Structure 1
Amino acid sequence: MEIPQSIFDRMARSMADRELLLSPRATRNAEYLRRSGHRPEEPVIRPPFSRDADRIIHSKAYSRYIDKTQVFYLVENDHITHRVLHVQLVSKIGRTIGRALGLNEDLIEAIALGHDIGHVPYGHLGEKFLDELCRGHGIGGFQHNVQSVRFLDDVEDCNLTLQVLDGILCHNGEAHDRSLMVEGEADWDSFAEKLGKIKSGGDALPLTAEGCVVRCADSISYLGRDLQDALEVEVIGERDLQDFPENCMALFGIAGRRKVDFSGINRTVLDVLIKDIITMSYDADCIAFSGEASACVAAFKDFNMHHIYENERLLKNEEKIRFMFRYLFDRILEDIKGKREDSLVYEDLINAPWVSPRYIAAAAPEERVRDFIAGMTDRYFEQVFRQSILPARVRSRYRG
């Protein structure tokens, strides 16, 4: 059914009026840039960045978020954060900040939903092992932000806008910046330069204010949540909390209480840091924390690193997982070089109908292995490992 022209015209005027209310530093829908215009667009009903969010959600890579580790792998607890929840939290936080600052919420949503698609099984530990293997096989290091772009731009060819791909590429939740200013030009050559810089181990800032917001929202989203989850699964306890930074205790209103209570830490972190960024970034030429909040975020990240991410209880299976990655990489590479088409890498990547033929034609065997493993969920990774290493059972009728 076609929308009547009178309704369509009113919708177009309403959209134009909303764009007039945006901040001067917001990215306008008309500024979008795609490599290809081969897919028709209707910018009134589905503006370009909203369309990108839809394309990301409907990608195969997005579907696999559902069983990707955020921090705590091999833990049976349905209440802790997985990657699929993390990106939704980043989107919500980013849009809250963006709405207050008059930025393009559709662009923020698309960047947030796609930013972690390149994460591998077992989170940052898996990324570390895949990085070692990629370097050892001569295809360069592995960075999950580069891999996110690779999945969406090369493997599935979603034809996303430059602004969304740039925001995904330039997110960096591990880094901490008090202030972020936009960087680069709105062209594909500038994007290629950033991509090369990050592949070489450097960092690059987003092209848009919306990308800067997502980069900050990424950190805000996991600080308190990871601490809350660590308490939930008992990776840390009261003794660890005695080392919680004093400046964070003060900023989040925990200091001075008769009984120190961390049960609501995530809610408090979100409220305080979101308001801080809005206050410091309103009518400014950057997206920034205050000096006090910035020091707190840095100290909080350091606490989480030492007490959670590097916790012996979390890393006790490290060598087993390293062996699994090494074994699967070598086994899958043998399957590709030997053209064993009964291998799962053919069924779920090389011959899959949703994979871009251009990608298959251009990717070396080692790159296909990298992308196959990087795309796995934790559960599928374990399934493929068991299937590869255990002998197959032969089924027959029972004879008494």
Structure 2
Amino acid sequence: MEIPQSISDWMAESMARRESLLSPRATMNADYLRRSGRRPEEPVIRPPFFRDADRIVHSKAYSRYVDKTQVFYLVENDHITHRVLHVQLVSKIGRTIGRALNLNEDLIEAIALGHDIGHVPYGHLGEEILDELCTEHGIGGFRHNVQSVRFLDTVEDRDLTVQVLDGILCHNGEVHDRSLTVEGEAHWDSFAEKLQRIEAGGDALPLTAEGCVVRIADSISYLGRDLADALEVEVIGDEDLADFPENCMALFGITGRGAFGDINRTVLDVLIRDIIANSYDADCIAFSAEASACVAAFKDFNMQHIYGNGRLIANREKIRFMFRYLFDRILEDIGEERRDSPVYEDLIDAPWASRGYIAAAAPAELVRDFIAGMTDRYFEQAFRRSILPVRVRSRYRAGGALP
């Protein structure tokens, strides 16, 4: 059904009024840039960055967020954070900051929803192991932000804007920055240069203020949440909390053990307010010196007491064996053209995979992308399928005929 012209005109005027209130630092919808330009735009109902968020949500890679580890792999608890919840939290935090700073919320949402699509099974441990395997097989290292771009821009060819892809590429929640300023220009040569730099092990900042907001939102989104989850699954206890940084205790107003029960809400409230206060009418997205020092100390605490906790990494070598075995087995399946291998059904012959990508990718690159796209559960199923013998079904069994 066509929208009457009078309604269309009213919507266009309303959008123009909203955009007129945006900060001079905001990215305007009219400035979007797609590589192909082959799909028609209808900016009145679905502006370009809003459309990008839809394209990400409807990608196959996005649907696999649902069973990807955030931190606590192999833990049976429905209340802890999985990757799909993490990206929603980053989007919410980013849009809260962006709304206060009069930035483009559609662009923030699209970047946030797509930023972790490249994460592999078993979180950062899986990324570390896959990085080793990719290097050994001569296809460079592995970085999940590059893989996020690869899934959306190459494997599925979602034809996203350079502003969204740049924000996804340039997120780096593991690095702490007190202040972020925009870097680069909105064209594909600048994007290619950043991609090459990051693939080589470097870093790059986003070309938009919205990308900077997502990067800083990602940086704070998991601090209190990971600590709350660690307490939930009893990975840490009171003896660990005794080492919680004093500057964090002061900034967040923590006076005793009971205050940690609401740590995530407190952390986000304090840090979001701090970012807004220090970024308003500034040429950067930044923390205050006090909050920046607190975030750095908080990350160090989580690294020591949570991410490196012996209970969490107890299965490290078993998981390493699983990755190595599965990588070699799938590579062999491709070399022998075993069409019954899951890599054919779920990637090479899949109708949603770009034919140009499939034709151009080397076998080891196909293996990398297949494993990186797996959920934790699918990874375990694929491993069992490849290593366990298949039972032969017979018409008869001991004691008589099968019913």
Residue 365 of structure 1 is aligned with which of 363, 366, 380?
Answer: 363
Mapping for residues 165-184 of structure 1, pairs under 5 Å = 165-184=165-184
Q: Amino acid of the residue matched to residue 7 of structure 2?
A: I
Q: Distance in 2 between matches of 1:394 and 1:279?
A: 67
Q: Deviations over 1:170-207 (max 9, x none)?
A: 00000000000000011100000000000000000000
Q: Distance in 2 between matches of 1:265 and 1:189?
A: 43
Determine whether 1:73 maps to 2:67: no
**What is residue 164 of structure 1 aligned with on the other side?**
164
**What is residue 143 of structure 1 aligned with on the other side?**
143
Residue 292 of structure 1: SS of its match in structure 2?
A: helix
**What is residue 41 of structure 2 aligned with on the other side?**
41
Q: Distance in 1 between matches of 2:219 and 2:185?
A: 25
Determine whether 1:295 maps to 2:293: yes
**What is residue 307 of structure 1 aligned with on the other side?**
305
Q: Distance in 2 between matches of 1:195 and 1:333?
A: 26
Q: Distance in 1 between matches of 2:88 and 2:393?
A: 44
Q: Distance in 1 between matches of 2:73 and 2:160?
A: 31
Task: Give 1:220 shift.
Answer: 1.2
**What is residue 53 of structure 1 aligned with on the other side?**
53
Q: Distance in 2 between matches of 1:358 and 1:27?
A: 31
**What is residue 275 of structure 1 aligned with on the other side?**
273
Q: Deviations over 1:70-126 (max 9, x none)?
A: 000000000000000000000000000000000000000000000000000000000
Which 5+ residue runs of structure 1 have no aligned equivalent? none
Q: Following TM superposition, where does structure 1 have runs of at least 4 consecutive aligned residues deviating by more than 3 angstroms? A: none
Residue 311 of structure 2: SS of its match in structure 1?
A: helix
Task: Give 1:130 shift.
Answer: 0.2
Q: Amino acid of the residue matched to residue 325 of structure 2?
A: Y
Determine whether 1:227 maps to 2:227: yes
Q: Deviations over 1:235-262 (max 9, x none)?
A: 000000001000000000014x5x5530
Mapping for residues 1-400 of structure 1, pairs under 5 Å = 1-255=1-255, 257=256, 260-399=258-397, 400=399
Q: Deviations over 1:222-246 (max 9, x none)?
A: 0000000000000000000001000
Q: Distance in 1 between matches of 2:267 and 2:359?
A: 47
Q: Distance in 2 between matches of 1:38 and 1:20?
A: 28
TM-score where L is the length of structure 2: 0.98
TM-score where L is the length of structure 1: 0.99
Q: Distance in 1 between matches of 2:252 and 2:9?
A: 48
Q: Amino acid of the residue matched to residue 354 of structure 1?
A: W
Task: Give 1:393 shift.
Answer: 1.1
Task: Give 1:342 shift.
Answer: 0.9
Residue 226 of structure 2: SS of its match in structure 1?
A: helix
Q: Distance in 1 between matches of 2:392 and 2:277?
A: 66
Task: Give 1:396 shift.
Answer: 2.8
Q: Amino acid of the residue matched to residue 112 of structure 2?
A: A
Q: Distance in 1 between matches of 2:332 and 2:342?
A: 12
Residue 315 of structure 1: SS of its match in structure 2?
A: coil
Q: Distance in 2 between matches of 1:397 and 1:241?
A: 61
Q: Amino acid of the residue matched to residue 152 of structure 1?
A: L
Q: Deviations over 1:34-70 (max 9, x none)?
A: 0011111101110000000000000000000000000
The Cα RMSD (Å) is: 0.7
Residue 244 of structure 2: SS of its match in structure 1?
A: coil
Task: Give 1:395 shift.
Answer: 2.0
Q: Amino acid of the residue matched to residue 305 of structure 1?
A: M
Q: Deviations over 1:260-286 (max 9, x none)?
A: 530000000010000000000000000
Residue 314 of structure 1: SS of its match in structure 2?
A: coil
Q: Amino acid of the residue matched to residue 43 of structure 2?
A: P
Task: Give 1:394 shift.
Answer: 1.6
Q: Distance in 2 between matches of 1:303 and 1:398?
A: 61
